[in-house]
Amino acid sequence: MEHRGSEFYDDALIFKKYLDRRSWTENANDTLEKPIILQLIGDVTGLEILDLGCGDASFGNELLDAGAVSYTGIEGSANMVEEAKKTMHRSKTEIIHTAIEDWDFPDSRFDMAISRLVLHYIEDVEAIFKKVYQSLVDGGSFIFSVEHPVMTSSYGLPREEGMKQDWIVDQYFHTGIRKQEWLGGTAVKYHRTIEDIYSALQHAGFNITRLRESKPDQANFQHNETYQRRMRIPLFLFFSAQKI
């Protein structure tokens, strides 16, 4: 069964598998994505934060614990919103159940916008970047991760069963829709080159301040074998940009 955007997470079986995978020790989110996001985000004391595709919003609790003054999570999946409501019991928190594309972004409201592993579900990222820009205060920052284009390029190509041994980067400059077989379903994602994302940020008005890839830090791994596997290919791409 094929799903677009957050619909993927509203399939009960897929959602269960997703939560299960996130609880694995040494999962890619916790060992690769989160450490770099935290480095890029830095000190959040006193900040009003917007999180696009916030999932279960558990990261919101961490940001508030770290000193953020408010957290607004936008999330399209009913299952995720239900999880978020179970975990979020803080004041100055709002979880809004809507597709990012449909949300009416407020003007000049947030000090920081973040989005973790969501924007590859969105067809027109430049339109979203423009809305994020408008919703930030002057000097506000936008920090996000996406699946790395070397990964998204070859989604949909035939692959072997089980743990991948080799990766193919193919059709790289043929950007657009990709259908990935994942967690027993078909997730519709969008492949873009690094240059496409960079240019879309610039067109939206942002000053790009950092670009990172998910180079692993051995300190985050218990098993050398997993670390060596993660040294082979980048899973995630990160940008940090500022409203000027």
Ligand X SMILES: C[S@@+](CC[C@H](N)C(=O)[O-])C[C@H]1O[C@@H](n2cnc3c(N)ncnc32)[C@H](O)[C@@H]1O
Nearest approach in angstroms of CB 128 to ligand X is: 9
Nearest approach in angstroms of CB 95 to ligand X is: 11
Judged by CB under 6 A, the chain residues 51 through 70 that form the site for ligand X are 53-55
Distance of alpha carbon 189 from alpha carbon 95, whole angstroms: 24
Nearest approach in angstroms of CB 30 to ligand X is: 10
Of 182 and 198, which CB lies nearer to ligand X in the complex structure? 182
Distance of alpha carbon 10 from alpha carbon 141, whole angstroms: 30
Q: Which residue is nearest to ligand X (CB)?
A: 55
CB proximity list for 104: less than 8 A, separation 6 or greater: none
Nearest approach in angstroms of CB 56 to ligand X is: 7
Of 24 and 228, which CB lies nearer to ligand X in the complex structure? 24
Nearest approach in angstroms of CB 122 to ligand X is: 5
CB proximity list for 3: less than 8 A, separation 6 or greater: 10, 11, 14, 185, 186, 187, 188
CA 169 to chain centre: 21
CB 137 within 8 A of CB 108: yes
Q: Does 30 bind ligand X (CB under 6 A)?
A: no
Answer for which of 44, 64, 76, 110 binds ligand X (CB under 6 A) is 76
Stretch that binds ligand X, among 4-12, 83-91, 151-159, 200-208 (CB under 6 A): 4-12
Instruction: Indicate the pairing of strand 48-52 with strand 70-75.
Output: parallel
CB 138 within 8 A of CB 243: yes
Of 114 and 136, which CB lies nearer to ligand X in the complex structure? 114
Nearest approach in angstroms of CB 74 to ligand X is: 6
Of 5 and 140, which CB lies nearer to ligand X in the complex structure? 5
Q: Does 117 bind ligand X (CB under 6 A)?
A: yes
> Number of H helices and number of E strands within the chain?
9, 10
Contacts 24+ apart (CB under 8 A), 179-184: 179/2, 179/155, 180/152, 180/155, 180/156, 183/14, 183/17, 183/18, 183/21, 184/13, 184/14, 184/17
Answer for which of 77, 135, 153, 240 binds ligand X (CB under 6 A) is 77
Distance of alpha carbon 78 from alpha carbon 99, whole angstroms: 11
Nearest approach in angstroms of CB 224 to ligand X is: 26
Binding mask 120-159 for ligand X (x = CB under 6 A): -xx-------------------------------------
DSSP bridge partners of 213: 237
Q: Does 238 bind ligand X (CB under 6 A)?
A: no
Tokens 């699946």 correspond to 147
Given the rule CB under 6 A, which residues bind ligand X?
A: 5-6, 9, 53-55, 74-77, 80, 99-101, 116-118, 121-122
